Amino acid sequence: MTILIIQILNSLFYASVLFLIAAGLSLIFGVMRIVNMAHGTFYAVGAFVTAWLVGRAIALGVPAGWTFLLIPVGAGAVGLLGVVIEPLLRPFYRRAEEYQLLVTFGLLLILEDVIRLLWGGLPLSADPVMDVLPSIRIGGLIYPGYNLVVIAIGAAAAVGLWAVIYRTKFGVMLRATSQDRRMASALGLNVGLIYVSAFAIGCFMAGLGGAIIVPSQAAVLGMGIEALILAFVVVVIGGLGSLQGALVGALIVSFVRTAGIQFFPEIELAVLYLIAAVVLLFKPTGLFGTA
Amino acid sequence: MTATAVSHAQYRPKLLLFAAAAVVLVLLALLPPYIGLYQTQLLIYGLIAAIAALGFNLLLGYTGLLSFGHSAFFGVGAYSVAFLLRDAGIHSMELYILIGLPIAAVISALFGYICVRHTRIFFGILTLALSQVLWTLAYKFFWVTGGSDGLRVARPTLLAGTLTFTGGGSFQRFINAYYYYVLGVFAICVVIMWVIVHSPFGKALQAIRDNETRAAFLGLRISRFRWVSFLISGTFTGLAGILWVPLNGLTTPEVMYWPFSGEIVFMTLLGGFRNFTGPIVGGVLFTYLKTYAIATTEYWQLLLGVVLVLLVMLLPTGIVGAISAVAGKLRPREKSS
């Protein structure tokens, strides 16, 4: 029973991070109709920036408790990176999908090496943040309290994003642009500004995913490439461009994966890709997709 | 314009093209003594990449489907050879090809059967997901596949055992012999692909690519054509994997990982996917580009990424496309006739 509770918590922990990445990917696709292959790398950038900042702060003698504040800073840095990169992508919006995929693939190659250039090839960790929070006892076992914080952040992000998209004026503008870009533009919306905002929010979420996972897992090279594929699996299951889809997809992937690691470790990833393939086959738009 | 004039106009450039291809082939055959062992070895890698890209382009350039999972077929070819050597003790390159090709074809047929139900972005994601199933199997079932260590493959015998490579100086002899072997297979592949894309079947693929609805009205069974195209495409890329592994001496799950699929897309775009020769030029050029990028800088991925972005921005039709566009402008008289 205790094992079950811990595995459920692990799944939720993992789902929170995965949801942040996949929701960003889905948001960018929903508004801009671009499948961003570099999205996983933004997640990796978030992890590296946060780990680096935490390391600096500790070295400067900042109390470990304050380093929590560096998590939003790390995520914000990735959001800013998005603001810088979106204008560079503009010439490609009118081009065929193939070219958009290739440009973002090129962006992935560039960013992966920029990470290596800035932080080298060694794993970068931010354990002090995790050690601040006490471990809790579940049954007879010890569970890190930090993981519960991550789950809370994931849940808050889901609610927050939902509120922004469905309950604010900006959300209405976002959805209008998503449905018909030219009509939105004709009605006087500043589509360029909405694109920048959507891309930046998407990047921020990916960066937040990286920032909250780095205290419990070190940032390593290639983490973005791995995450991108899992985020693809999530959005394929849930539906590209759908927020609910990203949430349900992230939960499905996390629970299957946790069960997989417990019961069938060899084919754990293969099962995920197969689920994605089966969903694409029978419901190409995903469980919640409309596109 | 009369019918004879049309056939003449079509006939002459074709003849020229065959002559040019023959000249290129002869030049390639004469090359090794002049360029040395290392360059010869590099050129073999280039030719193999060209075969992979040639197959890939049947799908992208002629059928209009962007696959992001062709690494799977390359990997299937490579691992088939490794298994044939380890579990069946086969050393003959011809047997590798004869047994490996049907395996690659079966996997391509299976993947294709699933993937051609979709087009555009969903096709890309589906091929990606399926190729990653194979990657994770190769990665996780280490007692079968060697896991991340991969499997070693010894130098095979060529031409039904008449050429063997053991003892002193065998590496040099292997590279020199294997160059001509791969060149021969490459030439056969180019001819087969040329025939395919200029056959009624190839024309039907292009019709489907340009206008699916009209093609359907003409009575073409669209998904059947796409499936066959996928099968041929995957099998060609599988053949490239078969040829690659004895040269590399080792196969690891990396050849199935999706960034390698990205590289195949990259080389095709580099040459130009709207031309028959584009992927061939792209495959060879990419091999050199990557090798020299790795040799020059630790940050070769960055270099390749910048090249890719610039390519999409400035040369969307690739190098061959740009050259033929320039050539077309220099010859206005022939165009107007």
What are the domain boundaries of chain A?
2-282
What's the mean pLDDT in A212-227? 88
Q: Which residues of B touch A276 (CB under 8 A)?
A: 125, 129
- In chain B, beta strands by DSSP E: 151-152, 250-251
Structure tokens at A165: 């998209």
CA distance B289 to chain A (A): 15
Mean pLDDT of B271-300: 88
Tell me the percentage of chain B whose pLDDT exceeds 90: 33
Binary contact (B136, A108; C-beta < 8 A)? no
The Cα of B205 is separated from the nearest Cα of chain A by a number of Å equal to 18
Kindly state whether residue B148 falls inside one of the protein's structural domains. yes
- Answer for the pair A107, B305: CB distance below 8 angstroms, yes or no: yes
Give the model's pLDDT for residue A209. Answer: 94
B309–A107 C-beta distance less than 8 A = yes
- Res. A44: pLDDT tops 50: yes
Span B265-287, average pLDDT: 89
Question: Which of A45, A41, A64, A57 is CA-nearest to residue A129?
Answer: A64
What confidence tier does A290 reach under pLDDT thresholds 50, 70, 90? low
pLDDT score for B97: 92
- 8 A C-beta contact, residue B195 and residue B286: no
Full DSSP string of A228-280: HHHHHHHHHHH-TT-HHHHHHHHHHHHHHHHHHHHH-GGGHHHHHHHHHHHHH
Amino acid B2: pLDDT:
44
3-state secondary structure of A214: coil
Nearest to A15 by CA among A153, A146, A121: A153
Average pLDDT, chain B: 86
**R_g (Cα) of chain A, nearest Å:** 19
Q: Hey, what's the torsion of the CAs at A99, B65, B220, B109, to 10 degrees? A: 180
- Tally Cβ neighbours within 10 Å of residue B170: 12
Question: CA B289, CA A30: separation in Å to the nearest integer?
Answer: 36
Taking contacts as CB-CB distances below 8 angstroms, the residues of chain B near A106 are: 304-309, 312
Q: State percent of chain A over pLDDT 90.
A: 35
Q: 3-class SS at B151?
A: strand
Q: Which segment of A201-215, B40-54, B109-123, B201-215 scores lowest on mean pLDDT?
A: B109-123
Q: Which DSSP string do the residues of B108-142 spell out, in sequence order? A: HHHHHHHHTT--HHHHHHHHHHHHHHHHHHHHH-H
Closest CA to A250 of A91, A41, A24, A19: A19
| B275 within some domain | no
Q: How far apart are CA A273 and CA A261, in angstroms?
A: 15
What is the per-residue pLDDT for B129? Answer: 82
- Rounded CA-CA distance A225/A116 in Å is 14
Cα–Cα distance between A79 and A77 in angstroms, integer? 5
Of A103, A109, A273, the CB nearest to B304: A109
pLDDT at B54 over 60: yes
Q: Span B224-247, mean pLDDT?
A: 94
Q: How many CB pairs under 8 A join A and B?
A: 113
In the prediction, which pLDDT does B5 show?
47
| Spatial CA neighbour of A46 closest among A214, A194, A169, A163 | A214
- Domain carrying residue B54: 38-269
Tell me the CA end-to-end span of chain B in Å, nearest whole number: 10
What number does CATH give the domain A2-282? 1.10.3470
Under an 8 A CB cutoff, do A270 and B136 touch?
yes
Does residue B127 lie in a domain region? yes
Check if the beta carbon of residue A1 is closer than 8 Å to that of residue A139.
yes
DSSP string, B195-230: HHHHSHHHHHHHHHHH-HHHHHHTT--HHHHHHHHH
If one compares A95 and A43, the residue with the highest pLDDT of the two is A43
Cross-chain CB nearest to A273 (options B133, B269, B302):
B133
- Does B266 touch chain A if contact means CB atoms closer than 8 Å? yes
Q: What is the pLDDT of residue A247?
A: 92
- Are A97 and B301 inside 8 Å of each other by CB? no
Average pLDDT over residues A257-272: 84
Output the pLDDT for position A33. 85
Q: Is B110 on the interface with A (CB under 8 A)?
A: no
pLDDT band at B332 (very low <50, low <70, confident <90, very high): low
pLDDT one-digit tens code per residue, A165-196:
899 999 999 888 888 888 988 888 888 899 99
**Number of domain units in chain B:** 1
Lowest mean pLDDT among B42-56, B187-201, B315-329: B315-329
Highest mean pLDDT among A4-8, A17-21, A258-262: A17-21
Is A106–B306 a contact, with Cβ atoms under 8 angstroms apart? Answer: yes
| B195, pLDDT greater than 80 | yes
Q: Which of A105, A112, A285 is the mutation pick for testing B, counting most B CBs within 10 A?
A: A105
- DSSP letters, A134-198, are PEEEETTEEEEHHHHHHHHHHHHHHHHHHHHHHHSHHHHHHHHHHH-HHHHHHTT--HHHHHHHH
Average of per-residue pLDDT across A24-46: 90
Angle at B186 between CA B202 and CA B10, to 5 degrees: 40
| Mean pLDDT in residue range A27-54 | 91
pLDDT at B10: 55
d(C-alpha A235, C-alpha A212), whole Å: 21
- pLDDT score, position B337: 40
Kindly determine whether residue B130 and residue A280, on different chains, have CB atoms separated by under 8 Å: no
Q: What is the ipTM of this complex?
A: 0.83
Searching chain A, which residue's CA lies closest to the CA of residue B266? A102
Mean pLDDT, residues A247-256 taken together: 92
